[in-house]
Amino acid sequence: MSTPDLTTRPGPLYGQFPTALRFSVRDQTRNRLAGLLLVVFVPVWYLVMNAMAGGEVLDFKLYATGEVLHVDGGHLTLITAGLNSVTMIAGFVVFDAVRKSLAFDRRLVFAGYRQSTLIGAKTLAVAGVATGIALYTALAVLFFWRPAAGAWFAVLAGFTVIALAYGALGLLLGVLVKRDLEGFFLIIMGGLMDTFLQNPLGNPLANEPILQWFPSFGPMQFASGGAFADSALWGHLGLGLAWAAGFSAVGLVIFRVRTRDRTR
């Protein structure tokens, strides 16, 4: 693929954003391995987890309300499996794209692009890609479990927010760490630990207060409350958005520092 010509000054400021957005979306959607993981790994992961836990009745205490729910352990595990898939894929996609495009973004700034334009475009691209990953993952649930419409939308909302949080984490690591291996390790291990600890089927201590400090706690509580208790725990969904905002803010500040034109 040819590299865009940056030897001439870019167009007017109002024309910079669509171009910057196109670059960002292109970078985040051309990762074939991530696409394969999304299309193949997600349903296979659901199949394995549902086979292991399906039909087992589980007493699950919804920490947000204190209510004890009697749920199908397989359905609850599908939620945590989806959260796990979303964290790794969204984080991996954004990290890989941001890290590989950082030098090109710096060249865009040198060519006259405003940093605020690149930041806005990159943020919108991360949000769009994360939402797409969450939507596919939530749709794949329907092959194994047919919840009511409101329950499914609660699961979708939980998946979307955790995808935004880990997409933002991928952005942060993409501008922060020096090598690919470090970023991949932090995303994979962080996502595994985070989401696994939220499932009481695999972790008897899943209702401990310390887990509320994990990024997936809020989305897990919202998805579980909406799916099994008809509860709309908007405050807990906001916790996940707070994690996403925090990761994004730090990452974009570092991005701004690393792409600034020091010749001016």
For tokens 């470090």, the residue is 182
Q: Identify residue 91 by its one-letter amino acid code.
A: G
> What is the helix (H) or strand (E) element at residue 72, kind and residue range?
strand 67-72
Per-residue confidence of the chain (264 residues) as pLDDT tens digits? 444 544 445 555 557 888 888 888 888 888 888 888 889 999 999 998 888 876 777 777 788 788 888 888 889 889 999 999 999 999 999 999 999 888 888 888 888 888 888 889 899 999 999 999 999 999 999 999 999 999 999 999 999 999 999 999 999 999 998 888 888 899 988 888 888 877 766 555 555 667 788 999 999 999 999 999 888 899 999 999 999 999 999 999 999 998 886 555
Q: Select from 224, 184, 264 the least CA-distant residue to 60.
A: 224
5: CB partners within 8 A, 6+ apart:
none
How many CB atoms are closer than 10 A to CB 26?
13
Confidence (pTM): 0.88
